[in-house]
Structure 1
Amino acid sequence: MIHVDTNAVAEHAVLGRVQEHADEAVFQVQLTRYTCGGLVIGMASHHQVADGQSMSGFSASWATAVRTNSALLPSPFLDRGATDKPRSLPLPVFDHGSIEFKGKHSSSRSYRVLPLDRIKNLAVHFPGEFVAELKARVGFSCSTFQCLLAHAWKKVTAARDLAPDDFTQVRVAVNCRGREKPPVPMDFFGNMVLSAFPRMRVRDLLSSSYPAVVGVIRDAVARVDDEYIQSFVDFGEAQRDVKLASTAATLGTAFCPDLEVDSWLGFGFHNLDFGGGPPCAFLPPDLPIDGVMILVPSCAAKGGAHLFVALDNEHVEAFKKICYSIE
């Protein structure tokens, strides 16, 4: 069993830039052995040092080194110059001061803070057959992530019983490696995550078909392109001497009516083999923020996935009743 915490709910949008935090560990590992022979590997890393893609590659190399007793492993791509290339005259064209950071002119929504004991963590298993049915309902080629996010967005929003005229959005973590021009190698070790924000009015989300909701998600993610990435890099250069605060949520934040999602579906954590075979389970940490979701591939059944989601206790029972209904 492997329990991995890559600090998925920590700061995004740093693209490899690391601030000085002398009193914070950048990587921690805990091994817990049981008398039955079981082993739990717990990992925590600072998101400003490495994103999920980086930790996946690191973990795979570590497992290979342990399993083969070899120190001769491929080196990751470490050229920060390939990811952080501001124009000679920095020219940000998007409002990053409001999108990725908090400031006096920020338009970021204000959220309530809940007592931690009111935030409940749920694990929902979607079998491969359920995912296949969702994809068939979409009607065109789409990823497991896209169809499951569309489904979860609709169901959590319905469970929250929001006002029809409210707007709801999802903060989607986007791996920018293949979106920059030229593309950055997938084995780049650092953080190349920015966020997309698909947004819909509540009544439209709940009444829209799955193809329509997947389309909204795709359009938002597509906007995180090379132009957007370059604008963000230029913004960082222009604000080099300015202290910026990330929009990452603090403990107890209630994102309602919004959500935040991280997909680990493309990572190889569930295939890690330290010499005893692949893990029997792969778990993210408890999520102390209402509305945060993580999608993880199933270790037991091919094609299935687990949704780990934290919700205000007031919405848990309503969500459980409808989480498997496809409408």
Structure 2
Amino acid sequence: MTSLTVQHVSECFVKPPHNPSQDTKQPIYLTPFDLPFLNINYNQKGLLFAKPPPSENQHFSVTTFLDDLRRSLSTTLIHFYPLAARLATRKQQNPPSYVIYIDPENSPGVKFIHATVDHVSVSDILTSTYVPSVVHSFFDLNDVICHDGHTLPLLSIQVTELIDGIFIGGSINHLLADGSSFWHFMSAWSEIFISKEENGCSISRPPIFKRWILEGHDPITSLPFGHPNQFIERYEKPQQLQERFFHFTTTSVSKLKAKANTECNTQKISSLQAVSALLWRCVTRARNQPLNSETICQVVISNRGRVDPPMSNDYFGNPISAARGTAMVEDLMAHGLGWAALRIHEAVTNHDDAFVKKQVESWYRDPVVYKTSGLFHPNVTHIGSSPRFDMYGCEFGLGKAVAGRSGFMNKADGLMTMYPGREGGGSMDVEVCLLPECMIDLECDEEFNSAYQVE
């Protein structure tokens, strides 16, 4: 499938159906949660749907479907108007100051692409052992970084037509939205699509764009730079990485959680922490890391509910950071699943209001922009996304998606991307990204195989 080519049939930009109000033209300033991600690639997630089967009185029309998608997207942008905007920068030379913000006054729209790919079916995507490389072409804005949002769309939607399926892929600027916010938008878009409401007056979860600001600090956050060359880095992903999905049934997740809690004589370890502990142990073993080296399990978490007072769950932004469980490889291998899960649990528990605000205060004193080349390390197992996102609630009139997939960007050795299982009930899908030799060892790992294959 590597030689297959996705053809772009048409492109356009979608805007809200009427001019925004004066309130929605105000700049949205970025925060210490957002600005470190200027070098990060766009977040790429999407859903694979089966085309509706033909019936006696109804025939599925891709043309009509695309028209309805564009119309409902336009209506959705009434509520999510920053997605149609671009970034802007206000610079000052003495002292150097670089203020980046979302500028709703400059609002060219969300890019919308219709694409096709011949000779690829839903089954081809689902039954391949490794994620076919053609899936990466189901997304736009490959090889761009978030700083490019000054001239490129903050959101691009690509709708790719397969032989018997439709893939809706979104590429969104990580400065503007984390996974929670992306799926919030997708859910609202699906809601409006299904309701066929055109005035956009009501959605079940209106987004909140007012920025979270640490008490005592200016809402306008600046970087101490005079030129982007001082902090911009473009990172090329190693081409030899392999991506594979592993399914954890409701039963397998429950057994892992029970095992971890029993080993620690507690009930406080969550399902996600138990699965993360399994991945940490098995990936570390597959990498054959030296016993006297340190290993890290890095779990990306939302800070919405961790600060006091908490942010709303409808806060639209990128308020994320990472909790890090650490151990010596020798200890991780010598102890069981529960011991590893407890390290992760403690790291997450300690990531409280005081910890988050201390991190933000530290950033104000010494602002940093992450370099992708330094975010991933051979000793790190990185757990991203979440099985709690309501991905499968986004149906767009096609019924429940058959699978979720991600794009090319931000992939690295040791990245684990979490998805809800399609059947619900606490099941999970994990997209594992590893070097080929490590993937082979993981696939042969007895502990890993006995855990995720439990029925």
* 1:325 counterpart SS class: helix
Cα distance in 2 between the residues matched to 1:147 and 1:28? 35
Contact 1:14 1:191 in 2 (8 A): no
Please show how residues 125-140 of structure 1 align to structure 2 within 5 Å. 125-138=247-260, 139=262, 140=267
* 2:331 counterpart SS class: helix
Change (3 A) 1:35 1:320: closer
**Normalization by structure 1: what TM-score?**
0.79
Cα distance in 2 between the residues matched to 1:187 and 1:137? 34
The Cα of 1:278 is off from its aligned counterpart by 1.6
2:449 matched to which residue of 1?
A: 324
Aligned AA for 2:156?
Q
Does residue 189 of structure 2 align to residue 67 of structure 1? no
Does residue 395 of structure 2 align to residue 273 of structure 1? yes
- Alpha-carbon displacement from aligned partner over 1:191-213 (angstroms, at most 9, x marks no partner): 11011111000011112122221
Please show how residues 83-94 of structure 1 align to structure 2 within 5 Å. 83-87=212-216
Change (3 A) 1:88 1:135: closer
Contact 2:240 2:436 in 1 (8 A): yes
Contact 1:128 1:302 in 2 (8 A): yes
Does residue 421 of structure 2 align to residue 298 of structure 1? yes
Cα distance in 1 between the residues matched to 2:299 and 2:371? 13
Change (3 A) 1:68 1:308: same
Alpha-carbon RMSD across the aligned residues, in angstroms, is: 2.6
Contact 2:385 2:418 in 1 (8 A): yes
Q: Could you tell me which of 353, 357, 366 is aligned with 1:230?
A: 357
The Cα of 1:314 is off from its aligned counterpart by 1.8
Q: Could you tell me which of 140, 148, 151 is aligned with 1:23?
A: 151
Contact 1:291 1:310 in 2 (8 A): yes
Change (3 A) 1:301 1:179: closer
Does residue 297 of structure 2 align to residue 170 of structure 1? yes
Cα distance in 2 between the residues matched to 1:203 and 1:137? 21
Aligned AA for 2:369?
A
2:222 matched to which residue of 1?
A: none
Cα distance in 2 between the residues matched to 1:263 and 1:114? 21
Q: Could you tell me which of 315, 323, 326 is aligned with 2:438?
A: 315
1:202 matched to which residue of 2?
A: 329
Q: Could you tell me which of 244, 261, 271 is aligned with 1:144?
A: 271
Structure 2 unpaired stretches of 5+: 1-30, 36-86, 88-99, 102-146, 219-229
* Alignment: residue pair count: 285
The Cα of 1:263 is off from its aligned counterpart by 3.3
* 2:259 counterpart SS class: helix
Change (3 A) 1:292 1:115: closer
Does residue 411 of structure 2 align to residue 288 of structure 1? yes
Cα distance in 1 between the residues matched to 2:319 and 2:389? 15
* 2:188 counterpart SS class: helix
Change (3 A) 1:247 1:199: farther
The Cα of 1:168 is off from its aligned counterpart by 0.4
* 2:247 counterpart SS class: strand
Q: Which has the higher contact order (CA 8 A, sep 6+)?
A: 1
Cα distance in 1 between the residues matched to 2:294 and 2:239? 27
